[in-house]
Chains A and B, each alone.
Chain A
Amino acid sequence: MKRNFLITAIAILIVAIILDVLVVSGHVHVKFPWSHVPGFFSFFGFLGCLAIIYGAKLLGHFWLQRGEDYYDKDDEHE
């Protein structure tokens, strides 16, 4: 599983970088600091996804997530 994952990820990354170098870098009109980094959006996608998953989980566990009866439990006036 881990092995398959690594092989797939690296293979796609290599293809992406080759495509970036060959196709994208010549076409981009607006230059940002990351426009010159081949495979930038691969890294951004991968790390961004992990950042959202773990960022959200941290926020949720330490602050925002509560039991489903959080708002209902003190509703004795009904």
Chain B
Amino acid sequence: MSNFPLAIIYIIGAVLLPVLPRRIRSAFCLIVSVAAFVFLINLETGASLTFPFLNYELVVSRVDRLSLAFGYVFVIMGFLGGVYGYHVKDTLQQVTALLYVGSSLGVVFAGDLFTLLFFWEIMAVSSLFLIWARRTRESRKAGFRYLLVHAFGGSALMAGILLHLQQTGSLLFVHFDGGAASYLILLAFALNAAVPPLNGWLPDSYPEGTVAGSVFLSAFTTKVAVYALARGFAGLELLIWSGAIMAVYGVVFAFLANDGRRLLSYHIISQVGYMVCGVGIGTQMAVNGATAHAFAHILYKGLLFMGMGTVLYATGRNKMTELGGLFKKMWPTLIFFMVGAFSISGVPLFSGFVSKSMVIHGAEMEHLGAVVLLLNLASIGTFLSIGLKLPYFTWFSTDRNLKTEPVPKGMYIGMGLTSALCIAIGVYPALLYNLLPFAVDYQPYTAPHLIESMQLLIFTGLAFWLVMKKLHAEATITLDTDWFYRRPSRLAFNVFSVSVCELFGAIERLSLRFVRYLVRVGGNPAGYAVEATKNAGHILLRTEKPAREPSDFSPDRYRIPLGIMVLVVLLALIVILAWDFLF
């Protein structure tokens, strides 16, 4: 089957998984990945599968070199994440992880916007459960925020798609030509790619996911967005600058982070910045670079999240202020982590070196000097935070004599396999370059490139060495753009909930007081009438003020003479008769 939609395999897997015996569920997740891989290598470029729906032909599977490149890395990462999370016995995580991988593949192979939207929404919801599955107060709250942000993005996407359909009459997912519809769609894509200022959700939610769940989270949502941008908005100049600024933005915020996985989350933003920038440049070289960087990034970022996840699993801690001195107990994890760290920093012979440089080379070829410098600055910050600072404060620095839980073998195997792939791509780049959408005319291992990269890395290391003693992790959080919906949420809560409740309360208290007054008056109407008359008289005559309340009802004291009642009734009768007579 050369056009089979891979998402179906994962969806069938997710449906079957809960009915299987518990002990084979982890293995089943791997089998699903392997089955998907078999279908994937049989896909042919140019093949597509259409499906009639209402008045439209939906293209549920469109295979070309761009979608295949992303398809490969998604299936591989799904497998590696499954190996790493083999010990997980939580059916919720297993089912939602399968759905998450499947829906990401669904987006990547979607040939029309309706299919895209369908899988886009599944992706948002299934990933949400990987956060909630940690079952802490923080993860619950972060999950709700994640849901609301992505619901907003999904709505923008749907609005954009409907507008696009109305304007062009076509649902095909191809390059967009501008106009209001495409800006709405761009907004939704940029939100998922975490382009500042739409980035707040990512470092807010990813550190709150489960140990294995965050490995999946780090890989899919943002890279699906990179794919969607490359398909729909390649060559958009806005993206060049957004991407370059984003790369530095992530690095600066990462340096301030205290939670290890939050630091890594900020580096997702930074690394996705390179890809967005490459997509924005839009030349074959740059789009190849963005794709290659996404491919390499998914693997090494997954590896880094696995490393910090293992530390979290073993010690129950992830903050640099609470970690330190783990080298003796957790040195194998450090080795795997450093493979990821060297890859993301672009050290020669590791995968980042051969992919990141393609994006920078793409910028050089277009003579974008400022972009080249910004991207190199981001490289410096990446090596500083992930290559030096985070491992220093986790495995060395102050020894806090932390107790460590034994780590399951599957986690080590998962990290080992991912490390092997990172090194394989770094040593033999053709492995990656053969998968890219356009033919590659680029050689990363040239003398000038090696010398420049080594200068950059060594002098970053020297600068770190110089100030290392003065650096210390700080137990703080950093305000980011999520402030704009977290802080005013309290104001909104006060305006729409607290103040409304208080208004109702005040009205209730007032009416209760009125009722109490009526009860008192009803118990002694004549007494109140007499007192009121006396009061009026006293006020008019300006004499001394009498007691305001009448004494308790006493039939002897407050008995109204019968004659007065008869007089009132007679007067009333006269009025009624006169009324009748006159009108």
Binding site for B on A (CB under 8 A): 5, 8-9, 12-13, 16, 19-20, 23-24, 27-28, 30, 32-33, 39, 41-53, 55-57, 59-60, 63-68, 70-71, 74, 77
B571: Cβ under 8 A from any A Cβ: no
Is residue B283 contacting chain A, with contact meaning CB distance below 8 A? Answer: no
Residue B304 interfacial (CB < 8 Å)? no
A32 to B371, CA, bound (A): 12
B448 in contact with A68 (CB, 8 Å): no
List residues of B (474-505) whose CB comes within 8 Å of A's CBs: 474-480, 486-487, 490, 493
- In the assembled complex, 21 residue pairs joining A and B whose CB atoms fall closer than 8 Å, in A order, are A12-B462, A23-B447, A24-B452, A27-B448, A32-B367, A33-B369, A41-B455, A42-B455, A45-B458, A52-B252, A52-B381, A52-B384, A53-B255, A53-B384, A56-B256, A60-B476, A60-B478, A65-B256, A66-B476, A74-B490, A77-B493
Q: A45-B456, A50-B467, A65-B477 are in contact. List 6 more A-B contacts (CB 8 A).
A: A16-B451, A41-B459, A42-B456, A44-B376, A46-B462, A53-B255
Q: Flag if A30 contacts B367 (CB, 8 Å).
A: yes
Q: Bound state CA distance, A56 and B256, in angstroms?
A: 7
B372 close to A (CB within 8 Å): yes
> B91 on the interface (CB 8 Å rule)?
no
B452 to chain A: which residues have CB within 8 Å? 24, 41
In the assembled complex, the Cα of A12 lies from the Cα of B460 at a distance in Å of 12
Task: Name the residue on A nearest B377 (C-beta).
Answer: A48
Contact in complex: B463, A46 (CB < 8 Å): yes
Are B451 and A24 closer than 8 Å at their CB atoms? yes
Q: Would you call B384 and A49 a contact (CB within 8 A)?
A: yes
User: Quick check: B364 and A27 within 8 Å, CB to CB?
Assistant: no
Contact A43 B447 (CB under 8 A): no
A57 and B252 CA atoms in complex are apart in Å by: 9
Please measure, in the bound complex, the distance between the C-alpha atom of A71 and the C-alpha atom of B377, giving whole angstroms.
Answer: 32
In the assembled complex, which residues on chain B have CB atoms less than 8 Å from the CB atom of A52?
A: 251-252, 255, 377, 380-381, 384
Tell me how many residue pairs across A and B have CB atoms closer than 8 Å: 135
Secondary structure of the A contact surface, majority rule = helix
| Nearest chain A CB to B493 CB, angstrom units | 7
B380 in contact with A65 (CB, 8 Å) = no
Q: How far is the CA of A5 from the CA of B465 in the complex (A)?
A: 8
Q: How far is the CA of A64 from the CA of B483 in the complex (A)?
A: 10
Question: Nearest Cβ distance between residue A63 and chain B, in whole angstroms?
Answer: 8
Q: In whole angstroms, what is the CA distance A52 to B474 when docked?
A: 16
Contacts of B251 in A (CB 8 A): 52
Complex Cα gap A48–B247 (Å): 14
- Output the least CB separation between A31 and chain B (Å): 9
Considering the complex, give the chain B residue whose CB is closest to the CB of A8.
Answer: B462
* Contact call A64/B255, Cβ cutoff below 8 A: no
Known contacts A48-B376, A48-B380; A68/B463 CB under 8 A: no
Q: CB distance B256 to A68 under 8 Å?
A: no
With A and B bound together, what is the CA distance between A58 and B517 in angstroms? 64
Known: A12-B462, A65-B477. A60 touches B372 (CB 8 A): no
Give me the 3 closest cross-chain CB pairs, A-B, nearest first: A45-B459, A49-B463, A41-B455
Answer whether residue B446 sits at the interface, using C-beta atoms and an 8 A cutoff.
Answer: yes
Q: Tell whether, in the assembled complex, residue A24 and residue B447 are in contact, meaning their CB atoms are under 8 Å apart.
A: yes
Q: Is the CB of A30 within 8 A of B365?
A: yes
Question: In the complex, A13→B459 CA distance in Å?
Answer: 9
Whether B476 and A59, one on each chain, are in contact in the complex, defined by CB atoms closer than 8 angstroms, is no
The answer, yes or no, to whether B457 is at the interface (CB within 8 Å) is: yes
CA distance A41 to B381 in the complex (A): 14
A53 touches B369 (CB 8 A): no
Does B547 belong to the interface (CB within 8 Å)?
Answer: no
B477 touches A49 (CB 8 A): no
Note all chain A residues with C-beta closer than 8 A to B365.
30
Q: How far is the CA of A53 from the CA of B465 in the complex (A)?
A: 12
Q: Is the CB of B478 within 8 A of A46?
A: no
Q: How far is the CA of A24 from the CA of B476 in the complex (A)?
A: 44
What residue in chain A is nearest B381 (Cβ atoms)? Answer: A52
Residues of A within 8 A of B471 (CB): 53
Bound complex: CA A33 to CA B373 (Å): 11
Residue B466, interface by CB 8 Å: yes
Give the distance in Å from the alpha carbon of A47 to the alpha carbon of B376 in the complex.
12
- A30 and B477 contact, CB distance less than 8 A: no
With the chains together, A70 CA to B258 CA distance in Å?
A: 15
Q: Which residues of B contact A42 (CB under 8 A)?
A: 455-456, 458-459
Per the bound structure, the CA–CA distance linking A12 and B463 in Å amounts to 13
A41 touches B476 (CB 8 A): no
Provide the bound-state CA to CA distance between A19 and B455, in Å.
10
Which of B367, B373, B459, B477 contacts A70, CB < 8 Å? B477
Minimum Cβ distance to chain B for residue A78 (Å): 9
Is B464 an interface position by the 8 A CB rule?
yes
